[in-house]
Amino acid sequence: MSVTDVATVRRVRTTVARGPRTLDPESSAWLDQLRATGRVRDEAVGRLHDLLLRAARFEVARRRRTVGYLRADELDDIAQEAADDAVVAVLARLDRFRGLSRFTTWAYKFALLEAAVKVRRRAWQGRELPLVSDGWKAFEDGSSPQRGAEQSELMAAIGDSIATALTPHQREVLVSLALNEVPIDVLAERLGSTRGALYKAVHDARRKLRADLERKGMEWTSA
């Protein structure tokens, strides 16, 4: 997952209240209508879907170079699916809207995130993931950027620690995400896991690496 995508996820998940807020009239109207029943709610959901479809199409178009082999109708199918899922997500989280931005801005981000995830998954569809590999040896064989003998020694130590201090699962996850740049949602799907479980595996792996390097008298400042 890229830095941009992580920032998007964090913004979408920002739901902590900062005290009572007065909603702007437009946002208040959106909430009232989406919480209504019958025709009023159905029309509001329809307008919400139109809004999120525009957002999804924008994001799919922005990322289309990663799936350049897809036809225009296939790209639009991705956008439609992203908009559908984004509507469901927004409706399930109406009580979490705190008025930190306009409702439409808040909802728009769900569509951007859904579209981004779906394009990444499509880009990796049919591709073999380097799950079981010796990719960690890149730290040893000079394929990683090196700055002098000290950096070379550190890279070799990291490679040795990855090979010896981590469990096979931690090694697979760390190498796939950090070295082979497999998107985390794609990796979770292929492994039958969850994003949360993979984040924990990476956290535990980095903690073990840091401890092993400290034992060797080295310091690793990876984020």
Domain locations along the chain: 3-124, 135-215
Query: How far apart, in whole angstroms, are the C-alpha atoms of residue 45 and residue 88?
Result: 10
Q: Tell me: pLDDT of 16 over 90.
A: no
Question: What is the CATH topology of the domain spanning 135-215?
Answer: Arc Repressor Mutant, subunit A (1.10.10)
What letters, b where the CB count within 10 A reaches 16 and e where it falls short, cover 122-147?
bbbeeeebebeeebbebbbeeebeee
Query: How far apart, in whole angstroms, are the C-alpha atoms of residue 82 and residue 64?
Result: 14
Q: Tell me: pLDDT of 182 over 90.
A: no
Query: For residue range 184-212, what is the model confidence (pLDDT) as tens digits?
Result: 888 888 888 998 999 999 999 999 988 98
Query: How far apart, in whole angstroms, are the C-alpha atoms of residue 134 and residue 82?
Result: 35
pTM: 0.60
Query: For residue range 63-86, what is the model confidence (pLDDT) as tens digits?
Result: 998 888 899 999 999 999 999 999
> Which residue reads 């956290």 in tokens?
203
